[in-house]
């Protein structure tokens, strides 16, 4: 088992430009079912992907792949014609929120938005649009979602993952890789790793993912990686303390960040005394989360929490 995506997930790509094509190729090499793309002016054609299989991905495949991804005019068409269940968005920032809303209007289960730099006002509107619809959004500005050896959606390096017992949820891409790599090295592996993104307005939040991991029978523990800005970690702490039945280890980045400065991520800023690392760490500690003092200690913290 896993959460959000698995071996049966059928993925469509919105935004098959240079970045989108590059990562679609990597996803196919990993063994992800990339079944459709949406591009109004190229509708009716196919995009060819060939190369060598990534043997750290879905097992039991031939050494090479040769896949034709059909291109459709709209998300609705890609869903009905190709049976897509999840969309991954690589559309450039000015048009990305519209792509998310199109996918939601078509009624897809899940949209994973990788695009970085979407204007906040656009995301405020997109989130309002999603409010009355069934579609779940992960991201934007995130590495994506991976269930090792089953389905890789996004820009994370596949080979550092290993099927296993721990769920990972994070606001930061590279810190997710740190956690994943340690879990692989110590042999715990991952059930699913979810990047929720570094923007101030995003779709799925810590609490949503924690709830999914809590209900997933295979996940035995969770690593959550937060950072300064907002109150999502504090909300997660309250939820954990009331509901979580599994051990959680965590790390919060930005202990030394000066107030008022945006630390790379649009969402990572301490303003008006809110969103400090110290407040988040104390809330999580009080909720029983084992906090790693540095990212290098995340694997060890998970082991400690699981004992």
Catalytic residues: 265
Binding track, positions 123-142, relative to other proteins; x by CB under 8 A: xxx-xx--------------
Residue 177: closest CA among 198, 164, 161, 197: 161
Residue 126: which of 89, 91, 101 has the closest Cα? 101
Judged by CB under 8 A, does residue 230 bind other proteins?
yes
Q: Which of 70, 163, 189, 200 binds other proteins (CB under 8 A)?
A: 200
Residues 163-182, one symbol each (x = binds other proteins by CB under 8 A, - = not), give -------xxxxxx-xx--x-
Q: Is 254 in the site for other proteins (CB under 8 A)?
A: yes
Minimum distance, C-beta of residue 36 to other proteins, in the bound complex (Å): 23
Question: Which of 82/100 has CB closer to other proteins?
Answer: 100
* Interacting residue with other proteins among 71, 86, 153, 225 (CB under 8 A): 225
Chain positions contacting other proteins, by CB under 8 A: 19, 93-94, 117-125, 127-128, 143, 155-157, 160, 170-175, 177-178, 181, 198, 200-201, 225, 227-232, 235, 251, 253-258, 261-268, 272-273, 277, 293-297
């Amino acid at each position: 088992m896993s959460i959000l995506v698995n071996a049966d997930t059928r993925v469509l790509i919105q935004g098959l430009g240079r970045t989108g094509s590059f990562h679609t190729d990597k996803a196919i090499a990993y063994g992800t079912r990339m079944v459709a793309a949406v591009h109004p002016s190229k509708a009716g054609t196919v995009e060819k992907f060939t190369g060598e299989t990534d043997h750290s991905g879905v097992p039991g495949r031939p050494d090479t792949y040769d896949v034709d991804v059909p291109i459709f005019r709209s998300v609705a068409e890609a869903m009905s014609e190709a049976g897509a269940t999840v969309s991954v968005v690589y559309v450039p920032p000015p048009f990305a929120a519209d792509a998310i809303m199109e996918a939601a209007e078509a009624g897809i289960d899940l949209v994973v938005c990788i695009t970085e730099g979407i204007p906040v006002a656009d995301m405020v509107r997109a989130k309002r649009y999603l409010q009355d619809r069934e579609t779940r959004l992960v991201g934007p500005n995130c590495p994506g979602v991976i269930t090792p050896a089953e389905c890789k959606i996004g820009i994370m390096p596949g080979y550092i993952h290993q099927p296993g017992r721990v769920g990972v949820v994070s606001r930061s891409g590279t810190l997710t890789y740190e956690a994943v790599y340690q879990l692989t090295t110590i042999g715990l592996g991952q059930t699913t790793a979810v990047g929720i993104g570094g923007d101030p307005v995003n779709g799925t939040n810590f609490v949503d993912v924690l709830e999914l991991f809590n209900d997933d029978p295979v996940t035995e523990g969770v690593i959550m990686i937060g950072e300064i800005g907002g109150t999502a970690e504090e909300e997660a702490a309250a939820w954990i303390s009331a509901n979580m039945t599994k051990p959680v280890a965590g790390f919060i980045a930005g202990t030394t960040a000066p107030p008022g400065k945006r630390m790379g991520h649009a969402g990572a800023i301490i303003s008006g005394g809110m969103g400090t690392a110290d407040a988040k760490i104390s809330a999580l500690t009080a909720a029983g989360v084992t906090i790693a003092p540095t990212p290098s200690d995340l694997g060890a913290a998970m082991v400690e929490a699981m004992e």
